[in-house]
Amino acid sequence: MVKSKLPSTGTSIFTVMSALSNECGAINLAQGFPDFPVSEKLVERVHYYMKAGKNQYAPMPGTPELRNQIAEVVIDTYDRPTDPAEEITVFAGGTEALFATFTSLIHPGDEVIVFDPAYDSYDPVIRLAGAQPVHIRLNPPSFHIPWDEVRAKINSRTSAIVINTPHNPTGSIISADDLMNLEQVAEQNDLYIISDEVYERILFPGNTHHSVLRSETLRKRAVAIFSFGKTFHATGWKIGYAVACPEITTELRKVHQFVTFTVNTPIQLAMADHMKNPENYLHLGQFFHRKQKLFSSALDGSIFEPLDCFGTYFQMVRLRETLDISDHEFAEKMTREDGVAAIPVSAFYEDGYNAGLLRFCFAKGEETLLKAAEILQKVTI
């Protein structure tokens, strides 16, 4: 008999709802992927490097071309001088970067603070590292971090705090005050900060991305994780990167070299070229904000109340009427009977907290969003 290292972990809710959506022929607003094409210029650059014979292993940390370009973008964006050779590592997506970070920095017996609702890869990887996730609930509608509770939960075993901004699934962002609290807590308790910033470019106008890279205080204790898949509509390419001080980067690479070793070469070289033009990513927040406004406005008069959203490509909604079934059952029922798939937000809470919330992905074409909203207008409880 197999002795599972993750006995309480089942199939991801994203896989479950996408499979059900496919089975029912529903509009899939559950899993977070765009249904519009990747830039033709970027595709052409990938093809160019494939035809040029750049198809063998890249250097383990990433091609120098890509790491150099990332360093320039980090300096331009966050005014943080960054050594591409010692502080930047290219990973097979943000998920691998998170895996390498948790498994290299977290030790058996440690405790790691995680804010719920949380992306579902954090908890199982912390457990694989032999550590204990300590979940702190963020409550709707604001999902603000309760810093007094954070301080009360910290003890001698606490080794790290995981943050995610802009936040999946809520669309919330951390504030300047949050960053200040994070600095104080990390310094006072000698903690690592693992910062999932894969939606950094999908921040709506009028808001500021308070990255850990802006903080000199956190420079030697924070890992910032990013995703090209989210930025360039290419989630299936699975490519991202992490920025950390040299001491931490050394540890990340020890894990990375035995997980994927390296990331596919032609896409790395193409990404390096594509990033040289800031126009390819600077207006992403405006692009997705238009979609968010279109979709949330199209829900007016329905049973779905959109909550405030400041970034990502996810819209949280609260049901205007009380459910007599779980949000999971309602999401499945809506997929089967109405033909639109969403994610039940209780899946993002370790304790299954059910506040009657659903998450829709609006990274879709206008026609898809309006068709889905037309169906959702007719959904009843």
* Peptide bond connecting 117 to the previous residue in cis, omega within 30 degrees of 0: yes
Secondary structure (DSSP) of 196-260:
E-TTTT-B-TT-----GGG-STTTTTEEEEEEHHHHTT-GGG--EEEE--HHHHHHHHHHHTTTT
Determine the average pLDDT of the residues in 292-305: 98
CATH no. of 13-31+283-376: 3.90.1150.10
Q: What is the pLDDT of residue 254?
A: 98
Residues 6+ positions from 278 with CB-CB distance below 8 Å: 76
Where in the chain are all domains bearing CATH 3.40.640.10?
Answer: 40-277
User: pLDDT tens across 194-217, in order?
Assistant: 999 999 999 999 999 999 999 999
Q: What is the pLDDT of residue 354?
A: 93
Determine the average pLDDT of the residues in 339-343: 97
The CATH architecture of the domain made up of 40-277 is: 3-Layer(aba) Sandwich (3.40)
- What SS3 class is residue 156? coil
The overall pTM is greater than 0.85: yes
Q: What is the pLDDT of residue 48?
A: 98
Determine the average pLDDT of the residues in 348-354: 95
Residues of the chain above pLDDT 70, percent: 100
User: pLDDT tens across 20-45, in order?
Assistant: 999 999 999 999 989 999 999 999 99
- What SS3 class is residue 312? coil
Say if residue 300's pLDDT is above 90: yes
Say if residue 364's pLDDT is above 90: yes
**pLDDT tier at 10, thresholds 50, 70, 90:** confident
Where in the chain are all domains bearing CATH 3.90.1150.10?
Answer: 13-31+283-376
Q: What is the rounded average pLDDT for all residues in the chain?
A: 97
Q: What is the pLDDT of residue 220?
A: 96
Determine the average pLDDT of the residues in 307-334: 95
